[in-house]
Amino acid sequence: MAALDFERYYRKPGNTLFQAIVGGAQDPFDFWAGPFYVGFFGFVAVVAIVLGVLVLFTAVGQYGDWDLLRANIPPPDRIYGLGLAPFLKGGAWQIVVSCATVSFFAWALREVDICRKLEMGFHVPAMYMLAVSAWLILQILRPLAMGCWCEGFDLSFSSHLTWVSNTGFKYMNFYDNPFHAYAVLGFFLTAMVLAMHGSAILGTHSTDPDPNVEMRREDSFWRDYVGYSTGEYGIHRLGFYLVVYTLIMSDLCIFTSGTLVKDWVQFWHPF
Amino acid sequence: MATFIPAAHEPLEDAEPSHLDVADPLGIRVGKATRWEFLRNLKVDTQVGTIWLGTWGAASTAFFLAGLLVFFLAGMDQTGGSLFLLIKYFGNINLAPPDGLGLARSLRGGGYWQIVLGFWALSTIFWAGRCIERLIRHKWRPFLVFAWLSAIFLTACIWVFHPLLVGTWSDAPALGLNSDLQWAQNFSVLWGNLYYNPWHQLAIFFLFGSAMLWGMHGATILATSSEASHHEDAEIKNMTSGSQKAILFWRWTMGFNAFPKSIHDWLWWFAVGVVLASGIGILSTGVVTNNWYAWAVDHGTVAQYGPMTRSAINQRPRPMPPELLAPSGYMPAAGK
């Protein structure tokens, strides 16, 4: 891909995490590959991704179903508890999950590197790590708390849906899980506020020579329409923190199920 | 290539709420707004109000309040006239739809449900009128009302079109906090597990994608707002260093980037995609198949678990005979 005309100005070597940690040594991967920045943590992420994908394809080939939707890497059987499992009885899942986890962390640190190079805030890697927390809880922390890797979900398109369905019924009725309800509320609110923000910008941009007039028309519309406008900075804060709320509720939703609460219907009738 | 120098920007102190928030460029606002200074601590605008009523708004508000009144009256009916029980059991208040497609034969047998939903349907439609009217007055393009109509499309699919297609209002959600959760669970089980409905899958993709995009866009703008990237209308006309950094962050991270205008296309279509895909998923349920698991097995998107036979999984559950039905799930009246 061709570089953007202003890109050369920002592509400067140095100021990486690797340098800060190792103490001044040059980051050996401090370069770009096409549009991608690589960096030491990009290298780590690529190694973990390639290793994980190779193991994944090896296991799928052994299991025999190459269908894109049905190909499946199941978690270990219950008898292996928190130990290592044979390759085709959950060992492949353990390797792939480990590689994915390493690559997620490396990816976050690579985002930190890019933020440092661009001298911007660290909001994106922070949000990214919050999203990764859902993966950590589903695949690592909750299985640890439950004492069995078998609690993790299948790495597959259709059987991870089956896992979600079965896990909902295992704790009787997931809709009675209050954190699930708060998380769903957060997802719906997020989508609604997203539509409102997109409509505001798409509805007003390039309608007046003065962008300040466009921006004031956004504010005055929302005041007329719903009585309040958060402003063009505030709307991004609102969206950001709605997602933070939603992710925290999602984490609580799945972590409490099975560890603290066995039955979400009985949860509401404690006595 | 000439040496590039980023366009000058005025560094903002720290996310100061818009200093232009009293402005009214079109001269159409009425009333005197108030200010809540504590909002400054949240770094959002402090001006509250004034809200526009208008004829459409008056009609919308009136029908919303009328529906709310009937809802509370029905709740009082279910609790035997006890306000205390109404508050205590508010989550269990359950206005159920009637069987069949006609008018309900009694208030308790679905009449409350039809009255409340009729009022609220009118309220949301009048709100769309209010939206159009304000959009014209403020010279916006009509994106917002199309998003609102998409949301109405989903609610109409759930409460009107699907019941019409399968021949009974009772497939629609009852009104009440717990009862709509029960509907979500039961509807999925009744139609063979909605997780295997491809439109439901697409809707969840858009829903999670919307959260992801809000996380990405919100975080990107907050991280670069000290260089004015949050003045989005201005950035669309003429990018400054804030937007350039926002663009390059994603280009360097994932090899692809949107631009100050095009990111809002992504946002809008993902958010609207949620309700459009959901609506199609509801419409196709009971029409395309009566068992989404069987459909998924037939179309090879899921492995067949266990020895279920076609004839077994293709049966809709038979309706419960009326003598076995509890009387509409009403709570015992006070004092009984």
- How many inter-chain contacts (A to B, CB under 8 Å) are there? 320
The 10s digit of each residue's pLDDT in A156-203 is 988 899 899 999 999 999 999 999 999 999 999 999 999 999 999 999
Contact B301 A35 (CB under 8 A): no
> Quick one: pLDDT at residue B21?
45
* Residue, of B267 and B24, whose pLDDT is higher: B267
With a cut of 50, say whether residue A121 has pLDDT above it: yes
Find the CB nearest A201 among B6, B232, B255. B232
Residue A153: partners with Cβ closer than 8 Å, 6 or more residues away: A75, A138, A139, A160, A163, A164, A167
Question: Is residue B27 classed exposed, middle or buried when 0-12, 13-18 and 19+ CB atoms within 10 A define those classes?
Answer: exposed
Q: What is the mean pLDDT of chain B?
A: 87
Q: Are B236 and A205 in contact (CB under 8 A)?
A: yes
pLDDT bucket at B318, cuts 50 / 70 / 90: low
Helix (H, G, I), strand (E, B) or coil at A155: strand
Q: Can you tell me the distance from the alpha carbon of B184 to that of B204, in angstroms, rounded to the nearest whole number?
A: 14
Q: Which of A102-106, A123-127, B79-83, B207-211 has the lowest mean pLDDT?
A: B79-83
With a cut of 90, say whether residue A69 has pLDDT above it: no
Q: Tell me how close the Cα of B202 comes to any Cα of chain A, in angstroms.
A: 13
* All domains of chain A in start order, with CATH: 1-170 (1.20.85.10), 174-271 (1.20.85.10)
The chain B residue lying nearest A9, using CA atoms, is B4
Q: Tell me how close the Cα of A42 comes to any Cα of chain B, in angstroms.
A: 9
With a cut of 70, say whether residue B3 has pLDDT above it: no
Of B151, B122, B148, B124, give the one whose Cα is nearest residue B135. Answer: B148
pLDDT bucket at B310, cuts 50 / 70 / 90: low
Q: What angle do CA A97, A98, A100 make, to 5 degrees?
A: 65
Helix (H) or strand (E) holding A73: strand A72-73
* All domains of chain B in start order, with CATH: 31-190 (1.20.85.10), 191-303 (1.20.85.10)
pLDDT bucket at A257, cuts 50 / 70 / 90: very high
Q: Can you tell me the distance from the alpha carbon of A85 to that of A91, in angstroms, rounded to the nearest whole number?
A: 5
> Quick one: pLDDT at residue B230?
94
With a cut of 80, say whether residue B325 has pLDDT above it: no
Best of B92, B207, B231, B252 to mutate (most A CBs within 10 Å, chain A): B252
DSSP letter (8 states) at residue A153:
P
Amino acid (1-letter code) at residue A170: K
User: What string of H, E and C letters represents the secondary structure of chain B?
Assistant: CCCCCCCCCCCCCCCCCCCCCCCCCCCCCCCCCEECHHHHHHCCCCEECCCCCHHHHHHHHHHHHHHHHHHHHHHHHHCCCCHHHHHHCHHHCCECCCCCCCCCCCHHHHHHHHHHHHHHHHHHHHHHHHHHHHHHHCCCCCHHHHHHHHHHHHHHHHHHHHHHHHCCHHHCCCECHHHHHHHHHHHHHHCCCHHHCHHHHHHHHHHHHHHHHHHHHHHHHHHHHHHCCCCHHHHHHCCCHHHHHHHHHHHHHHCCCCCCCHHHHHHHHHHHHHHHHHHHHHHHECCCECCHHHHHHHCCCCCCCCCCCHHHHCCCCCCCCHHHCCCCCCCCCCCC
Neighboring chain B residues of A190 at a CB cutoff of 8 Å: 210-211, 214
Helix (H) or strand (E) holding A165: helix A157-170
Residue listed under structure tokens 């009048």? B126
> Quick one: pLDDT at residue B1?
43
Contact A228 B48 (CB under 8 A): yes
Q: Can you tell me the distance from the alpha carbon of A115 to that of B245, in angstroms, rounded to the nearest whole number?
A: 9
Residue listed under structure tokens 């329409």? A225
With a cut of 70, say whether residue B16 has pLDDT above it: no
Neighboring chain A residues of B19 at a CB cutoff of 8 Å: none
CA distances from B15 to A111, A113, B193, B239, B256 (A): 23, 24, 47, 19, 28
Of B285, B315, B90, B266, give the one whose Cα is nearest residue B184. Answer: B285
pLDDT bucket at B11, cuts 50 / 70 / 90: very low
With a cut of 60, say whether residue B257 has pLDDT above it: yes
Q: Tokens standing for A251?
A: 């984490």
Neighboring chain B residues of A204 at a CB cutoff of 8 Å: 139-141, 233
Contact A9 B5 (CB under 8 A): yes
Q: Can you tell me the distance from the alpha carbon of A91 to that of A77, in angstroms, rounded to the nearest whole number?
A: 10
Mean pLDDT of B105-131: 97
The 10s digit of each residue's pLDDT in A209-254 is 988 889 889 999 999 999 999 999 999 999 999 999 999 999 999 9
DSSP string over A184-222: HHHHHHHHHHHHHHHHHHHHHTTSSS-HHHHHHHHHHHH
> Quick one: pLDDT at residue B83?
93
The 10s digit of each residue's pLDDT in B52-82 is 999 999 999 999 999 999 999 999 999 999 9
Q: Tell me how close the Cα of B81 comes to any Cα of chain A, in angstroms.
A: 25
The 10s digit of each residue's pLDDT in B182-198 is 999 999 999 989 999 99
Contact A203 B144 (CB under 8 A): yes
The chain A residue lying nearest B301, using CA atoms, is A69
Evaluate the CA torsion angle A30, A35, A41, A47 in order and state its sign. Answer: negative
> Quick one: pLDDT at residue B34?
87
With a cut of 70, say whether residue B317 has pLDDT above it: no
Neighboring chain A residues of B275 at a CB cutoff of 8 Å: 191
Find the CB nearest A240 among B50, B218, B301. B218
> Quick one: pLDDT at residue B283?
96
> Helix crossing, B262-284 with B198-224: angle to 10°?
160
> Quick one: pLDDT at residue B327?
52
> Quick one: pLDDT at residue B20?
46
Q: Which of A233-237, B162-166, B226-230, B294-298 has the lowest mean pLDDT?
A: B294-298
> Quick one: pLDDT at residue A5?
86
Find the CB nearest B45 among A67, A191, A231. A231
Q: Can you tell me the distance from the alpha carbon of A253 to that of A136, in angstroms, rounded to the nearest whole number?
A: 14
Centre a 10 Å sphere on the Cβ of residue B49 and count the other Cβ atoms it contains: 16
Contact B214 A7 (CB under 8 A): no
Q: Which of A88-97, A137-146, B185-194, B292-301 has the lowest mean pLDDT?
A: B292-301
> Quick one: pLDDT at residue B312?
52
> Quick one: pLDDT at residue B321?
61
